[in-house]
């Protein structure tokens, strides 16, 4: 027998909404939130079926100091059209007509339920439970708006990818789930039955995107017709514009030395990078000589996503004595990276000259 309680009102729900005199009870909404963004947000009716197009001035004509009896070049201003896309936020309320009739006041009963739907949509819009930062980002996507600039309203995604936990909840003792990681720009996430074709990416047409599918990095693709095709079917897929994160250490000055050694030749034979919930780092003496840390072990079967790692990852990076003693770390995959420390193994060579 199917269970409908979580998605449809039942007689038990009806009984909990009737007070002692048989009237619709006044519900105290302890789950309501104050969402300042809804008070400050500006609304305008779009002039397109799926968005709003505006024209902005992008350049002013040049002006010149003129001598007597001398002319000046002609000039003009420049403009560009910006198409701002829109989204649809919806929910669905379905109450059995006989259940409504039992209340004796169908309008009051339906209103008591619809107020909860409105509050739920408000909280979804305002990104409740996380401190959300919204941006109006101007991007130039090759296959969108004829390659002209487009403005998107984007929200920073919560840096929270813990198993079975929602944002804002106590995460003590939980392990990080790489499949839920979101480290792309202007991205979307698909969740459902295993699929190879991911659609709904019209806002990224013509752009090269990074793909994280069930926790595994798939090759970058160019979005065509609003879709990308995965190498392997996946049920949780994050697709978006890639970005590169880089870290470069400062010049070393080891403690306990009787003189400064910053201009001495030094060899950093290996380095340990202390990380938390991290995968996919590359390390090297500079950003042109990077080696990826290999993290797949015999305990991780082929085809399964490599779990995130917390601890020290050691890598041999150089056998040369150089004055430059930088350690460079790069993350260019759509994966999380938190560096807590860099521990080099250093040998001091001869002095300058």
**pLDDT tens, residue by residue, 177-188:** 888 899 999 999
DSSP letters spanning 177-194:
-GGG----EEEEEEEEEE
Domain range enclosing 200: 140-241
Within-domain flag for 353:
no
pLDDT, residue 43, reads: 75
Number of other CB atoms surrounding residue 258 within 10 Å: 5
Give 175-178's long-range contacts (Cβ < 8 A, gap of 24+): 175/307, 176/277, 176/307, 176/308, 176/336, 177/215, 178/215, 178/279, 178/305, 178/306, 178/307, 178/308, 178/335, 178/336
**265 against 205, higher pLDDT:** 205
Residues 300 and 226 in one domain: no
Q: Band of the pLDDT at 352, cuts 50, 70, 90?
A: low
Within-domain flag for 229:
yes
Residues 174 and 108 in one domain: no
Residues 236 and 250 in one domain: no
pLDDT, residue 169, reads: 38
Residues 144 and 57 in one domain: no
Within-domain flag for 194:
yes
CA angle 15, 16, 19 (to 5 degrees): 85
Q: Where a domain ends, among 225, 241, 257?
A: 241
Residues in the chain: 353
pLDDT of 167 above 50: no
Spell out a b/e string for 14-53, using b for 16 or more CB atoms within 10 Å of the CB, else e.
beebeeeeeebeeeeeeeeeebeeeeeeeeeeeeeeebee
Most confident of 159-168, 260-269, 281-290: 281-290
pLDDT of 237 above 90: yes
CA distance 306 to 301: 9
Q: Average of pLDDT values for 108-129?
A: 75
Residues 273 and 344 in one domain: yes
pTM (two decimals): 0.63
Within-domain flag for 132:
no
CA distance 272 to 116: 52
Number of domains making up the chain: 3
Number of other CB atoms surrounding residue 77 within 10 Å: 9
């Amino acid at each position: 027998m199917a269970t409908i309680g979580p998605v449809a009102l039942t007689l038990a729900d009806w009984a909990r909404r009737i007070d002692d005199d048989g009237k619709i009870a006044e519900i105290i909404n302890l789950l309501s939130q104050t969402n300042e963004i809804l008070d400050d947000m500006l609304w305008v009716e779009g002039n397109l079926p799926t968005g709003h197009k505006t024209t902005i001035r992008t350049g002013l004509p040049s002006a010149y100091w003129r001598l007597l009896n001398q002319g000046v070049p002609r000039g003009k201003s420049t403009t560009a059209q910006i198409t701002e896309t829109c989204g649809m936020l919806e929910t669905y309320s379905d109450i059995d007509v006989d259940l409504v009739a039992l209340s004796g006041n169908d309008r009051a009963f339906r209103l008591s339920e619809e107020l909860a739907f409105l509050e739920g949509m408000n909280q979804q819009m305002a990104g409740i439970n996380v401190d959300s930062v919204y941006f109006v980002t101007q991007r130039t996507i090759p296959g969108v708006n004829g390659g002209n600039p487009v403005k998107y309203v984007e929200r920073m995604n919560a840096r929270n990818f813990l198993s079975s936990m929602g944002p804002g909840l106590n995460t003590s003792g939980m392990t990080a789930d790489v499949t839920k990681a979101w480290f792309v720009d202007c991205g979307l996430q698909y969740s459902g039955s295993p699929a190879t074709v991911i659609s709904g990416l019209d806002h990224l047409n013509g752009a090269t995107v990074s793909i994280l599918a069930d926790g595994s990095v798939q090759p970058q693709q160019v979005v065509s017709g609003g879709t990308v095709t995965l190498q392997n079917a996946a049920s949780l897929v994050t697709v978006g514009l890639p970005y590169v994160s880089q870290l470069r250490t400062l010049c070393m000055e080891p403690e306990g030395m009787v003189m400064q050694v910053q201009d001495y030749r030094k060899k950093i034979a290996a380095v340990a990078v202390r990380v938390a919930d991290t995968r996919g780092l590359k390390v090297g003496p500079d950003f042109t000589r990077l080696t990826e840390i290999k993290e797949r072990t015999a305990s991780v079967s082929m085809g399964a996503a490599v779990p995130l790692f917390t601890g020290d990852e050691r890598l041999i990076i150089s056998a040369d004595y150089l004055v430059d003693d930088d350690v460079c770390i790069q993350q260019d995959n759509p994966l999380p990276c938190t560096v807590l420390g860099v521990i080099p193994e250093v040998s001091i060579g001869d002095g300058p000259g």
